[in-house]
Amino acid sequence: MDETMSDTARTPPFAPFEWLLSGRYLRARRKEGFISVIAGFSFLGIMLGVATLIIVMAVMNGFRKELLDKILGLNGHLLVQPLESPLTDWKDVAERISQLDGIRLAAPVVDGQALASSAFNAAGVLVRGMRSADLNKLTSIAKNIKQGTMEGFDEGQGVIIGRRLADQLSLHAGDTITLVAPKGAVTPMGTTPRIKPYKVAAVFEIGMSEYDASFVFMPLPESQAYFNRKDDVTAIEVFTTNPDRIDVFRKMVTEAAGRPVFLVDWRQRNSTFFNALQVERNVMFLILTMIVLVAALNIVSGLIMLVKDKGQDIAILRTMGASQGSIMRIFLITGAAIGVVGTLTGFFVGMLICLNIESIRQFLSWMTNTELFSPELYFLSRLPAEIDFGETTAVVIMALTLSFLATLYPSWRAARLDPVDALRYE
């Protein structure tokens, strides 16, 4: 007997019989049905928690990336505004800035507000005057022309408008749009509004409803005349190759300008919006982590009940020579199996949904006959999902860690169970 117990004591960790018993305890009999129900809910909780975390993080990342691409695709990473005197030397300043390393485009612009009207409706718009060469380098506009063409933009009297504005005013390429500016010609009777019709040369759609409904692009010389700018411009929009290195570019642009300028970067122009998005993302992560934590607590309760139910089995195993370590590992494997399988299943479910999120949104919209994620509310015309593999890995590791920690206390209780007391009370 001593020789047998000595051989058993030298059983290596995670021996085949430990895996066999763990698998047997996962397949509960009818009398242990309630325990298997708890294990099933623990599995579902971890699976749903991991999948939901992955999906929500991917969608939040997608929103940030899409909004950042669209905002920075239309507005410069750095806005150069004049100080002390109007920006009449904009050609020289833009040329010097554009020659810097890492500067993709330095575009002089004239911005002004106007009322756009047609025979059917009217809407307030932001008119932006740009050179045709600069506008062609803005891929967010040049590659998203839905009607008409940008050819001859500088020579003609045409303007380019957004798709939603065109729909609101019931206009198409080739139609006439009337722009009304509050400050026009100065007469003996005072300043009169400037009212001028323009041909719609093209219609663009970048997918961000706020821009598609409010922007009107006009040739730079025409915008200078329309807004009484004479020879100056409002500002110079600077586009860089790497928005995250904007602090480096600020210093370079300040030196290259060669005149007093005031710089505003994209972080300052959109700080409130992106800070709110980051706070919302962090809060969602904390809230959804609670789902995984609740599921891990279900593992604790299920294993404690299993240990109590298997007290006689544990006592018999101990009297046959099984060590406390073996008993502990049996229940560790049982609980960890629920967490590992639930986490991996949740990972695959989350990845599958993220890769097909827009198709799922369209299907649900069709099924419910409603518009989910309205572009007017969420700014975007489609539901984006950007999978960050670092974040996804962190979610998986967190779920596996919580699942493992949940098994420690019940397993320790099983290992500490006294065989004599267990058999006495059976």
pLDDT in tens, 159-189: 999 999 999 999 998 899 999 988 766 666 6
The residues that bridge with 179 in the sheet, in sequence order, are: 116, 196
Question: In the structure encoding, which two tokens stand for residue 47, read together?
Answer: 């699976």
- Picking from 297, 390, 286, 232, the residue whose alpha carbon sits closest to that of residue 41 is 297
d(CA 124, CA 179): 9
**95-135 residue pLDDT tens:** 999 998 888 889 999 999 999 998 889 999 999 999 888 88
Q: Would you state the pLDDT for residue 161?
A: 92
pLDDT band at 414, cuts 50/70/90? confident
Rounded (to 5) percent helix, strand, coil in the chain? 60, 20, 25
- Picking from 328, 333, 345, 361, the residue whose alpha carbon sits closest to that of residue 396 is 345
- The model carries a pTM of 0.67
**330-374 residue pLDDT tens:** 778 877 888 888 889 999 999 999 888 888 888 887 888 777 666
Asked whether 116 and 123 are in contact (CB, 8 A), the reply is yes
d(CA 204, CA 214): 12
Question: In the structure encoding, which two tokens stand for residue 301, read together?
Answer: 């309760």
- Identify the weakest region by mean pLDDT among 68-82, 218-232, 300-314, 382-396: 300-314
Instruction: List the Cα angle 356/389/74 in 5-degree steps.
Output: 70
Asked whether 405 and 296 are in contact (CB, 8 A), the reply is yes
Q: What is the DSSP string of 362-405?
A: HHHHHHHTS-SS-HHHHSBSS------HHHHHHHHHHHHHHHHH
Mean pLDDT computed over 258-263: 87
pLDDT of 423 above 90: no
Q: Would you state the pLDDT for residue 1?
A: 39
Asked whether 400 and 343 are in contact (CB, 8 A), the reply is yes
Q: Where is pLDDT greater, at 419 or 278? A: 278
Task: Find tokens 């740009």 and name the residue.
Answer: 130
d(CA 121, CA 158): 19
Q: Would you state the pLDDT for residue 265?
A: 87
203: exposed, middle or buried (Cβ count in 10 Å: 0-12, 13-18, 19+): buried
Q: Would you state the pLDDT for residue 143?
A: 87
In 71-226, the DSSP E strands lie at 78-82, 103-117, 122-130, 145-148, 158-162, 176-181, 186-187, 190-191, 194-204, 215-219
Q: Which amino acid is at 153?
A: F
DSSP-H helix ranges across 116-175: 132-137, 139-142, 163-169
pLDDT band at 9, cuts 50/70/90? very low
360: exposed, middle or buried (Cβ count in 10 Å: 0-12, 13-18, 19+): middle
d(CA 73, CA 204): 13
Q: Which residues contact 277 (CB under 8 A, 6 or more apart)?
A: 60, 63, 64, 67
Q: Would you state the pLDDT for residue 348?
A: 93
176: exposed, middle or buried (Cβ count in 10 Å: 0-12, 13-18, 19+): exposed
Element spanning 264, H or E: strand 261-265
Q: Would you state the pLDDT for residue 2?
A: 44
Element spanning 327, H or E: helix 324-355
